[in-house]
Amino acid sequence: MADIGDCLAVTALNLARRFGRGATMWCFAPQWPEHARHVAVEFVHPVVVGKRALPAVSIDAADPVASLRALVRAGDVILVMSRSDDPTALAVVRRAVAWGATTIWMGCGPRPADRAADHIVWAEDEGDDARGSAVHDGRLVLLYHVLWELTHVCFEHPGLLTTVDDADCNDGEVCITCSDEGRVGEVINTDGAGSTLVRTSRGIETIDTTIVAVVAPGDLVLIHAGAAIAEVP
Amino acid sequence: MSDATDFLYPFIEGEERDTGALLSDLGESARAKARTSAALRQATLERSTSVIETAAEAMSERFSRAGRLFVFGNGGSSTDAASLVALFLQPPWGQPLPARALVDDSAVLTAIGNDVGFDLVFSRQLIAHAGEADIAIGLSTSGNSRNLLYAFEEASGRGLLTIGIAGYSGGEMARSPHVQHCLLVDDDSVHRIQETQAALGFALWSEVQARCSAKEPGKGVWR
């Protein structure tokens, strides 16, 4: 597990690169919406005079998955702040792959699985953390303040913002049958006869879903060679 | 861009290509900021012990009289206000206590802001909601936000318990006769101030919870 400082460094550089290419950062904290608002205001209206305003938006909708599905464009960033077992947070980070978005998952308490998001930025789990105090005592705030600060340092290094770095690209999983690439898609609709419209990081595609069980809009599938080869739980 | 001072700036404009050095610097910067934040938090909590205990005792007395807590602030401090409210209302442990943030309703904020001015967005809400058993907490990094100073004046006139949480040297808030208890984070970074202000709010809440349980053993609520 990387040191939290190194973790924030890598995350900030990738975030700056995404902003540099026109990304919006969508901030979502299902249990702590005020923290999502705090991040958004930091980026949109910086406290340090002269720092550029960046497009960050807090999402606090009745159906956040539906709102994000409509709002997020490929290349955007989704910052989720939550506990690792929050079901809505999980639904968002899983779908983000199909939406072509980079995910940053920030929180405290038990950590998510290592590959659950592109960047996992987790508060130290010590003392009262197991009872959730990092959310309230300033330690979660510290994480996103430092993320903002480091992101702006990155803008002072324009040569490093144009670099294409595929290391942060988490474009799906691997087909267990042939070890070839598999990509995650989110079902838009299906004709019931095996022809299904899906959204992937590359856009809208028509795929064959005859070999997987019944699929419904919103389901995630693993795509290989134009066909769904498995449902993604 | 090329002149005699270029050697001072090895990565002029778009020429820089090595991310390793930057990432190393960023990582060290992050660790340094975390150390600074932790040290400020520790020092501030130690210095504020008596104010926190006095304010928590006064808050407990208000809650025991069915008082409610109103919290307000601007910008990042408005979200810190909401975070403090969440702590009282839906605590990770202990007793839920009635608290509201005066920053959550965009209809109310824009109506008052548009009709009578942003300086009065909090004080007008206190006029509508607050009574003499209630508590007002305002958060400001500068201590100079006019809408907070007006809110404290209104709260004080209505008999509320008033607590200010400010940064730097506390600004107007530290000098206001309408702020009965003032917690200060003596620093000049807005970010580090806000992190420690959250820690102060958490300490205040913890002390109130300790008194809540103590006053009515086995039940833990006053009403």
**Residue A168's CB: how many other CB atoms inside 10 A?**
14
Same structural domain for residues A44 and A143?
yes
Same structural domain for residues A90 and A195?
no
For residue A80, the cross-strand partners are A28, A105
Chain B residues inside the 8 Å CB shell of A148: 191
Q: Which of A12-16, A85-89, B3-7 has the lowest mean pLDDT?
A: B3-7
What is the radius of gyration, based on Cα positions, of chain B? 21
Is the predicted pLDDT of residue B9 greater than 60, yes or no? no
On whether residue A152 sits in a domain, the answer given is yes
Chain B residues inside the 8 Å CB shell of A137: 198-199, 202
Cβ–Cβ < 8 Å for B96, A48:
no
Same structural domain for residues A126 and A67?
yes
As a whole number, the mean pLDDT across chain A is: 89
pLDDT of residue B219: 43
Is the predicted pLDDT of residue B144 greater than 80, yes or no? yes
pLDDT of residue B23: 96
On whether residue A219 sits in a domain, the answer given is yes
pLDDT of residue B12: 54
Is the predicted pLDDT of residue B223 greater than 90, yes or no? no
Same structural domain for residues A115 and A191?
no
Chain A residues inside the 8 Å CB shell of B199: 137-138
> CB-based contact (8 Å) between B7 and chain A?
no
Asked if B197 and A47 come within 8 Å (Cβ–Cβ), the reply is no
Q: How far is A170 from chain B (nearest CA, A)?
A: 20
Asked if A145 and B194 come within 8 Å (Cβ–Cβ), the reply is yes
Same structural domain for residues A26 and A128?
yes
Is the predicted pLDDT of residue B7 greater than 70, yes or no? no
Q: How far is A165 from chain B (nearest CA, A)?
A: 10
Chain A residues inside the 8 Å CB shell of B194: 138, 141, 145
Same structural domain for residues A149 and A192?
no
Same structural domain for residues A152 and A72?
yes
> CB-based contact (8 Å) between B19 and chain A?
yes
Q: Which of residues 86-145 of B touch A (CB under 8 A)?
A: 86-87, 92-93, 101
Is the predicted pLDDT of residue A213 greater than 50, yes or no? yes
Mean pLDDT of B190-195: 97
The percent of residues in chain B predicted with pLDDT above 90, rounded, is 85
On whether residue A171 sits in a domain, the answer given is no
Which of B71, B83, B104 has the highest number of chain A CBs within 10 A, making it the mutation to test binding with A? B83
Banded pLDDT at A202 (limits 50, 70, 90): very high
Same structural domain for residues A199 and A133?
no
Is the predicted pLDDT of residue B14 greater than 90, yes or no? no
Chain A residues inside the 8 Å CB shell of B139: none
What are A's interface residues with B at a Cβ cutoff of 8 A?
3-6, 8-10, 12-13, 32-35, 37-38, 41-42, 45, 47, 131-133, 135-139, 141-142, 145-146, 148-150, 153-154, 157-160, 162-163, 165
Mean pLDDT of A204-232: 92
pLDDT of residue A165: 52
Q: How many CB pairs under 8 A join A and B?
A: 136
For residue A227, the cross-strand partners are A208, A224
Is the predicted pLDDT of residue A178 greater than 60, yes or no? no
> CB-based contact (8 Å) between B196 and chain A?
yes
Is the predicted pLDDT of residue B120 greater than 90, yes or no? yes
ipTM (interface predicted TM): 0.89
On whether residue A215 sits in a domain, the answer given is yes
Banded pLDDT at B92 (limits 50, 70, 90): confident
Mean pLDDT of B98-122: 97
CATH number of the domain bearing residue A45: 3.40.50.10490
Same structural domain for residues A214 and A138?
no
CATH number of the domain bearing residue A191: 2.30.30.140
Mean pLDDT of B171-200: 97
Asked if A131 and B29 come within 8 Å (Cβ–Cβ), the reply is no
Same structural domain for residues A41 and A85?
yes
Asked if A8 and B191 come within 8 Å (Cβ–Cβ), the reply is no
Same structural domain for residues A77 and A113?
yes
Q: Bigger pLDDT: A123 or A15? A: A15
Q: Across the interface, which of B31, B78, B202 has its CB nearest the CB of A133?
A: B202
As a whole number, the mean pLDDT across chain B is: 91
On whether residue A77 sits in a domain, the answer given is yes
- The position carrying tokens 């144009």 is A162
Same structural domain for residues A36 and A96?
yes
On whether residue A178 sits in a domain, the answer given is no
Asked if A3 and B31 come within 8 Å (Cβ–Cβ), the reply is yes
On whether residue A187 sits in a domain, the answer given is yes
Mean pLDDT of A71-100: 96
pLDDT of residue A220: 95
Please state the domain count of chain A: 2
Which of B23, B35, B187 has the highest number of chain A CBs within 10 A, making it the mutation to test binding with A? B23
CATH dotted code for B18-215: 3.40.50.10490
Banded pLDDT at A163 (limits 50, 70, 90): low
What residues make up the domain containing A213?
183-232
Mean pLDDT of B126-139: 97
On whether residue A173 sits in a domain, the answer given is no
